[in-house]
Amino acid sequence: MSSVLELVRADLRGFTGYKSARTEAVQGEIWLNANESAWANPGDPLGTSRRYPEPQPAMLRSVLAAVYGCEESQLLIGRGSDEAIDLLVRALCNPGRDSVVVTPPVFGMYAVCARLQDAALVEVPLHDGADGFQVDLDGIAAAALGARAKLVFLCSPSNPTGAVVALADIARLAASLHGTALLVVDEAYGEFSDLDSAVTLLAQHTNIAVLRTLSKAHALAAARIGVLIADPALIALLRRCQAPYPVPTPCAELALAGLAGPALVETAGRVAMVRSERERLRAALELLPGVLRVYPSQGNYLLARFRDADAAFNALLAAGVVVRDQRAAPQLGDALRITVGSPEQNDRVIAALRAKEIAA
């Protein structure tokens, strides 16, 4: 295959998309080309929100490329990782013909986007072994090739299991899928992991794409800033498929402030604390009689199995602690996912579960 664009739907390869007023390279003192208001909204003291934003804010794009170790041409900014997932499925999968491979239990948006595009969902379940949940690499490759999959999603660290996929295994899988499918590595929780990013593999494997987000480690979930990093030709095509103004100006400004030097230093300290607290919380949970298993995790959360998950969930809720009930997910009928909070919040989790054991 000469280009990753050959994986894209044939009817979209020459698609030009919508050219908004902000895509035109023109300058002037009075802008009357976008039907914007000549006056600021009374509730907007800075008066900046009357103008449409840059489709891909240049300064933010530059900063994000530096943070994630890629070229600006490899990077697309969107509304969280969800928009990038949706764009990939819509751009690559022909409805009713192509398929998407996922590895349950895993983040649900891959399946949602496949369903909306009428792309068949092919599941290769994670294997629950002595070392935690692991991907079946050979099974994924066989399923993708057999089902004519255009996309394979790997979540590393995986949500909700916390397991990671080694870079050598990602590279091997990408090589086996070359010419047939794009391997998308979702690194939403990458900052909490011991592994290097799969972005380091892009130079050798044009059929790898990486998802990153500011929602987790950078504490900017409400800003909805997500990034797709991939081959420049694919990024350019997806930009033409994207809505005209995906990045609101206030969100871009907040992201720039959150990625400035002092903020990055503080974020790094908080990530280190979460990693430390993750192990402390795991050790404490493992000592509780009602906890059957706590899985090793490289995310900012722990997946735990309980003898009575309903009682554990309700005990936490009674203590004012809300965790994620995973019992409806495949293989997780007795499991809860607990985000690693501050030391004080984690103490509250431990105390609530200990009290349940005493009461029982």
In terms of Cα–Cα distance, which of 47, 16, 81, 11 is closest to 244? 16
Given a cut of 60, whether residue 2 has pLDDT beyond it is: no
Beta strand residue intervals within 66-119, DSSP E: 75-79, 99-102
Q: For 52-82, how does the pLDDT look when each residue is reduced to its tens digit (9 = 90+)?
A: 999 999 999 999 999 999 999 999 999 999 9
pTM value?
A: 0.95
Separation in Å, CA 228 to CA 36, 51, 296, 303:
30, 26, 27, 27
What pLDDT is recorded for position 1? Answer: 44
Residue 267 near residue 217, CB atoms below 8 Å = yes
Please give the structure tokens belonging to residue 334: 């007795």
Beta strand residue intervals within the chain, DSSP E: 75-79, 99-102, 120-123, 127-129, 132-134, 149-155, 182-186, 208-213, 225-229, 291-294, 301-306, 324-325, 335-339
**Which is it for strands 182-186 and 99-102: parallel, antiparallel or unpaired?**
unpaired
Give 358 or 347, the one with higher predicted confidence.
Answer: 347
> For residue 229, what are the β-bridge partners?
75, 210
**Which is it for strands 127-129 and 132-134: parallel, antiparallel or unpaired?**
antiparallel
The CATH architecture one would assign to domain 264-359 is Alpha-Beta Complex (3.90)
C-alpha span between 218 and 214 (Å, rounded): 5
What pLDDT is recorded for position 144? Answer: 98
| Sequence spans of domains, the chain | 4-259, 264-359
Average pLDDT, the chain: 95
**Where does 4-259 sit in CATH, by number?**
3.40.640.10
